[in-house]
Each structure stands twice: as C-alpha cells, then as structure tokens.
Amino acid sequence: MLCGYVRAWRTGRDDLRAKGSGLVEALIQINGRWGLNGHESARLAVSAARFASDIVCMANGRSVNAKDVMSVMSLRVRRGTLVRILITGPDESAAMDALSAVLHAQVSS
C-alpha cells in the first residue's frame, strides 16, 4: 500500500510565484517489491517529462531531476524508502496527480 501525504502552499519567492501558484510537495513511501528499479524509474521519468513544471525527487540524501531516468535510478530507492517529490510550475497539480498515479501503480504490480 502507498503511504504518503501531499501538501501545497504559497511561497514568498517571486521566482516560484511567477511560474505557478507555489510549490507542491509529496512524501511517498515506496513499498513495491523491488523499489524503484530501472523499469519503474523510467516510467516515473517519462511521466514527469510530459509536464512543463520543474520536478525534483529527493531520497537517500540526494536530490535529482525527476525527468532524467538515470538520475532517478541513481537515487537507489529500495522498498520502504521515503521519496520526496517537489514540483513548481504552471501544471504542478496535474504533474503531482500523474506522478502519484505512477507510484501507486508501481505498488500494485
């Protein structure tokens, strides 16, 4: 089962406000058998690349561009690891919905 929360707020930074409504953040625990392996990392990166927003994944003390599959794989996300997703931009809500769906499908398979 996917565990996590989604939180959105307005930031005080003008550069972020100009792009979208602020920042959307999710903290998601990965519970799939193999974590984010190559296939699941590719699904996440391809899904993230469809959006204009800036998307960052953070795990294991590293932060990477979620639109680059090799960067996502470099996080070495195993089962039980918490992944923080930060999104800012014009389509941040739609991007968060899509990425959450990808990670939820990962748990089901």
- pTM for the model stands at 0.77
* Sole residue written with tokens 């470099």: 74
Q: Which amino acid, residue 91?
A: D
Domain 3-108 has CATH 3.40.309.10: no
- 39-95 pLDDT tens trace: 999 999 999 999 999 999 999 999 999 999 999 999 999 999 999 999 999 999 999
Across 19-31, b (16+ Cβ under 10 Å) vs e yields bbbbbbbbebebe
| Residue 103 pLDDT level (bands cut at 50, 70, 90) | confident
- As a whole number, mean pLDDT of residues 23-52 equals 93
Pairwise pLDDT comparison (17 vs 106), residue with the higher score: 106
d(C-alpha 84, C-alpha 34), whole Å: 18
| Residue 33 pLDDT level (bands cut at 50, 70, 90) | confident
Question: Domain spans of the chain?
Answer: 3-108
In the DSSP assignment, the letter for residue 78 is -
